[in-house]
């Protein structure tokens, strides 16, 4: 949901900002812009469309400066257009800002400013920040920023430049992420680490209402009472390669292929001696009479898988709620409920709201998060980090797989603590989980078949996914993946539900993807397969207990053997590859599907 970057230093800010925006494009890509300051004032270029359009515009009208800010947008207020793109300037062209977030009281503020004769040029909520800043500004930019922050309701991460302070870049945030990178050749603000990683791996994570004042020489932090703050400088350990495509056509394919390593690293973080192990061991599940998992999108689907695993192993009720529903439903949670928040970004607005609601009601909160230092990671009582590294493709793959693993571990550890399984059984389960990286690597060897099969599926208008129990939960993820990147309508059904309505949609040459990893349910799902084939459907059957033989209506992808509890980690890889190659064969923009953005920081 919008990416911002800023730079002040000894080099020309323009290529640095354009390069940073490329790394942030996953956060929004309907328009972009850049502003740099020199001794004559601001030079601004803003462009509707992809970042490449901005680059072309900058090449046609070169600008330069040692201080600058840039923005890549996912429109919320006002259509994507040149004028609505950021940076926004006040009407006296004295202050320029980039904003990620939503200003909830912008209408009131705008009306007030308009009554004072200030003319707005865009339809955005963000312009009000620039106009308000100029209105308040009496000479001290810190005072101005503090006044603006006090007047704003909503969420913001801001980069601010002011002509009166040509040697400063100011940043402040509330409920949206912002990092500060420092290097010998200059200092940076950015929505996410990859934007600065080719310049520095030393970053500060800004907390809400902290102000960063960047100069060429360094950075200082203050609270909104202008008192100096001491902050901890973090060293990022992942390399720049993890945020590059590394020879793959799309980030999504690269991230799918990285999964054996991600599984391995995440397993080590629990079975080895890391923080994740310590945190899981410190959590006493016997204090709780119920678990609630709440999340959005794919992270919610990970929760659906976990419900089956946890209930089967722990015999404890597990509810799974969409975070957007949980936050408004007056959920029945209290101090005896463990609420698990699952989020790759740790910044999803609905999940943040669900977390705060759960805490307000006294529940204990545990998060499974990929992005270090994110809001959810910071605010929950317990935080487990997945070790997926930066995930750039909008459609999640490797982070989802790491979430699943963490949830399996919780299930086994909780079951052991509750005395539902003994230590030998727990060890057996850990061994099964530890076998996943090798099995995932083996499965990826079937990529050619999946690619070939997917190439025959581009013409479908609708594709159904079916499974039972855990296979149904992972079918939901397969369906979401397909629709978000291939734009083919799809739905996931519990196999047993087909006959209660959906089977009427099955006709000649409908495609049904069926999943079967639980031997005891094989007969049931196979009879669903037969029912749809006899009504003309074609079936892609994915599983590790399939006894049927392939024919012109039935194609099979054989999964490595694994306890069915952990099989989603394998079946999902086939589903991801299938979606990827369908979309690739349609020639779509896979890493940046239309209308989507990676981190949904608005409601």
Residue 396 binds ligand F6R (CB under 6 A): yes
Q: What track of x and - describes contact with ligand F6R for positions 464 through 493 (by CB under 6 A)? A: ----------------x---x---------
Q: Which is nearer to ligand F6R, 88 or 327 (CB)?
A: 327
Q: Find the shortest distance in angstroms from Cβ 601 to ligand F6R.
A: 9
Which member of 3, 181, 297, 467 binds ligand F6R (CB under 6 A)? Answer: 297
Q: Which is nearer to ligand F6R, 97 or 323 (CB)?
A: 323
Q: Which is nearer to ligand F6R, 174 or 481 (CB)?
A: 481
Q: What track of x and - describes contact with ligand F6R for positions 569 through 588 (by CB under 6 A)? A: --------------------
Q: Which is nearer to ligand F6R, 1 or 537 (CB)?
A: 1
The Cα 178–Cα 210 span in angstroms is 10
Q: Find the shortest distance in angstroms from Cβ 28 to ligand F6R.
A: 13
Find the helix packing angle between 127-136 and 141-151, rounded to 10°.
Answer: 130
Task: Assign residue 334 a region (left: φ > 0; alpha: ψ between -120 and 50; beta: otherwise).
Answer: beta
Q: Find the shortest distance in angstroms from Cβ 583 to ligand F6R.
A: 12
**Contacting range for ligand F6R; rule: CB under 6 A; set: 241-249, 296-304, 306-314, 570-578:** 296-304
Look at residues 154, 135, 148, 160 and name the one whose alpha carbon lies nearest to residue 76: 154
Q: Find the shortest distance in angstroms from Cβ 485 to ligand F6R.
A: 8
Residue 100's CB is within 10 A of a number of other CB atoms, namely 31
**Contacting range for ligand F6R; rule: CB under 6 A; set: 167-175, 185-193, 345-353, 516-524:** 345-353
Look at residues 171, 178, 133 and name the one whose alpha carbon lies nearest to residue 152: 133
Judged by DSSP in three states, 428 sits in helix
Residue 320 binds ligand F6R (CB under 6 A): no
Residue 601 binds ligand F6R (CB under 6 A): no
The Cα 182–Cα 9 span in angstroms is 10
User: Counting every residue, how long is the chain?
Assistant: 603
Q: Which is nearer to ligand F6R, 84 or 396 (CB)?
A: 396
Q: Find the shortest distance in angstroms from Cβ 593 to ligand F6R.
A: 9
DSSP category for residue 203: E
- Largest distance between two CA atoms of the chain: 79
| Angle (nearest 5°) at CA 392 between 53 and 251 | 85
Residue 343 binds ligand F6R (CB under 6 A): yes
DSSP category for residue 8: E
Among candidate residues 48, 174, 481, 598, the one labeled active-site is 598
Q: Which is nearer to ligand F6R, 417 or 483 (CB)?
A: 483
Q: Which is nearer to ligand F6R, 69 or 341 (CB)?
A: 341
Which member of 129, 395, 539, 575 binds ligand F6R (CB under 6 A)? Answer: 395
Q: Find the shortest distance in angstroms from Cβ 528 to ligand F6R.
A: 26
Residue 296 binds ligand F6R (CB under 6 A): yes
Residue 112's CB is within 10 A of a number of other CB atoms, namely 15
Dihedrals phi, psi of 552, to nearest 5 degrees: -65, -20
Which member of 144, 298, 518, 571 binds ligand F6R (CB under 6 A)? Answer: 298
- Determine contact, residues 297/352, Cβ cutoff 8 Å: no
Look at residues 428, 407, 424, 383 and name the one whose alpha carbon lies nearest to residue 311: 407
Which member of 253, 299, 320, 482 binds ligand F6R (CB under 6 A)? Answer: 299
Distance of CA 287 to the CA centre of its chain: 31
Which member of 98, 291, 410, 600 binds ligand F6R (CB under 6 A)? Answer: 600
Beta bridge partners of 465: 492, 513
| Size, binding site for ligand F6R by CB under 6 A | 15
The Cα 32–Cα 306 span in angstroms is 39
Q: Find the shortest distance in angstroms from Cβ 295 to ligand F6R.
A: 6
Closest residue by beta carbon to ligand F6R: 297
**Contacting range for ligand F6R; rule: CB under 6 A; set: 44-52, 161-169, 338-346, 439-447:** 338-346
Residue 259 binds ligand F6R (CB under 6 A): no
**Contacting range for ligand F6R; rule: CB under 6 A; set: 106-114, 255-263, 337-345, 570-578:** 337-345
Residue appearing with tokens 């996931």: 492
Asked if 2 is an active-site residue, the reply is: yes
Q: Concatenate the DSSP letters of all residues of 213-264 into one string.
A: EE-SS-EEEE-TT--EE--PPEE--S-GGGGS-TT-SSHHHHHHHTHHHHHH
The Cα 205–Cα 225 span in angstroms is 19
Residue 146's contacts (CB-CB under 8 Å, 6 or more residues apart) are 211, 224, 226
The Cα 276–Cα 266 span in angstroms is 9
Q: Which is nearer to ligand F6R, 29 or 429 (CB)?
A: 29
Q: Find the shortest distance in angstroms from Cβ 348 to ligand F6R.
A: 3
**Contacting range for ligand F6R; rule: CB under 6 A; set: 11-19, 68-76, 209-217, 344-352:** 344-352
Residue 345 binds ligand F6R (CB under 6 A): yes
Task: Assign residue 111 a region (left: φ > 0; alpha: ψ between -120 and 50; beta: otherwise).
Answer: alpha
Judged by DSSP in three states, 297 sits in helix
Burial of residue 419, with CB atoms counted within 10 A of its CB: 0-12 exposed, 13-18 middle, 19 or more buried: exposed
Asked if 598 is an active-site residue, the reply is: yes
Among candidate residues 2, 162, 296, 314, the one labeled active-site is 2
Q: Which is nearer to ligand F6R, 81 or 599 (CB)?
A: 599
Beta strands in 483-594 (DSSP E): 489-494, 511-516, 538-543, 554-558
Binding site for ligand F6R (CB under 6 A): 296-299, 343-345, 348, 351, 395-396, 480, 484, 599-600
Residues taking part in catalysis? 2, 598
């Amino acid at each position: 949901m919008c990416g911002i970057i800023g730079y002040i230093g000894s080099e020309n800010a323009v290529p640095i900002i354009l390069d940073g925006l490329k790394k942030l494009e996953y956060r929004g890509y309907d328009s972009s812009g850049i502003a740099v300051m020199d001794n004559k004032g601001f030079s601004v270029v803003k462009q509707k469309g992809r970042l490449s359009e901005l680059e072309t515009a900058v090449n046609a009208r070169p600008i330069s400066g040692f201080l600058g800010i840039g923005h890549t947008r996912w429109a919320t207020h006002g259509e994507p257009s040149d004028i609505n793109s950021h940076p926004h300037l006040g009407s006296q062209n004295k202050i320029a800002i980039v904003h990620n977030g939503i200003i909830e009281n912008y209408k009131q503020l705008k009306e007030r400013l308009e009554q004072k004769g200030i003319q707005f040029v865009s339809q955005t909520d963000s312009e009000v920040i620039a106009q308000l800043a100029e209105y308040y500004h009496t000479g001290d930019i810190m005072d101005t920023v503090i006044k603006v922050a006090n007047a704003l309701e909503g969420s913001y991460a801001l980069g601010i430049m002011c002509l009166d302070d040509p040697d400063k870049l100011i940043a402040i945030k509330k409920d949206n992420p912002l990092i500060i990178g420092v290097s010998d050749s200059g200092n940076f603000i950015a929505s996410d680490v990859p934007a600065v990683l080719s310049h520095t791996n030393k970053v500060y994570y800004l907390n809400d209402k902290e102000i960063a004042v960047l100069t060429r020489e360094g950075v200082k932090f203050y609270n909104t009472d202008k008192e100096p703050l001491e902050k901890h400088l973090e060293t990022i350990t992942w390399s720049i390669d993890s945020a590059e495509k590394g020879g793959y056509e799309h980030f999504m394919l690269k991230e799918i292929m990285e999964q054996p390593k991600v599984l391995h690293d995440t397993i080590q973080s629990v079975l080895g001696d890391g923080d994740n192990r310590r945190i899981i061991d410190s959590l006493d599940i016997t204090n709780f009479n119920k678990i609630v998992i709440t999340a959005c999108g794919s992270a919610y689907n990970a929760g659906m898988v976990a419900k089956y695993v946890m209930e089967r192993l722990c015999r404890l009720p597990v509810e799974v709620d969409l975070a957007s529903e949980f936050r408004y439903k007056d959920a029945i949670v209290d101090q005896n409920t463990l609420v698990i928040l699952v989020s790759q970004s740790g910044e999803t607005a609905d999940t943040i709201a669900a977390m705060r609601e759960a805490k307000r009601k006294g529940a204990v909160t545990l998060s499974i998060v990929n992005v270090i230092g994110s809001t959810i990671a910071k605010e929950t009582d317990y935080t487990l980090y997945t070790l997926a590294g930066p995930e750039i493709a909008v459609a999640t793959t490797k982070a989802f797989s790491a979430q699943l693993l963490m949830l399996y571990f919780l299930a086994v550890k909780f079951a052991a603590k509750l005395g539902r399984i003994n230590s030998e059984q727990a060890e057996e389960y850990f061994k099964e989980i530890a076998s996943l990286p090798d099995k995932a690597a083996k499965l990826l060897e079937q990529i050619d078949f999946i690619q070939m099969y997917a190439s025959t599926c581009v013409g479908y208008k609708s594709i159904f996914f079916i499974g039972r129990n855990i296979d149904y939960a992972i079918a939901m993820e397969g369906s979401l993946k397909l629709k978000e990147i291939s734009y083919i309508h799809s739905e996931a059904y519990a196999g047993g539900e087909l006959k209660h309505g959906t089977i009427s949609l099955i006709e000649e040459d409908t495609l049904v993807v069926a999943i079967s990893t639980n031997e005891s349910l094989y007969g049931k799902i196979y009879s669903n397969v037969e029912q749809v084939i006899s009504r003309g459907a074609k079936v892609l059957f994915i599983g590790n207990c399939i006894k049927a033989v392939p024919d012109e209506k039935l194609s099979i992808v054989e999964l490595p053997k694994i306890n069915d509890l952990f099989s989603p980690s394998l079946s999902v890889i086939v589903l991801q590859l299938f979606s990827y190659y369908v979309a690739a064969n349609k020639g779509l923009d896979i890493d940046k599907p239309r209308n989507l953005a990676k981190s949904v920081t608005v409601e």
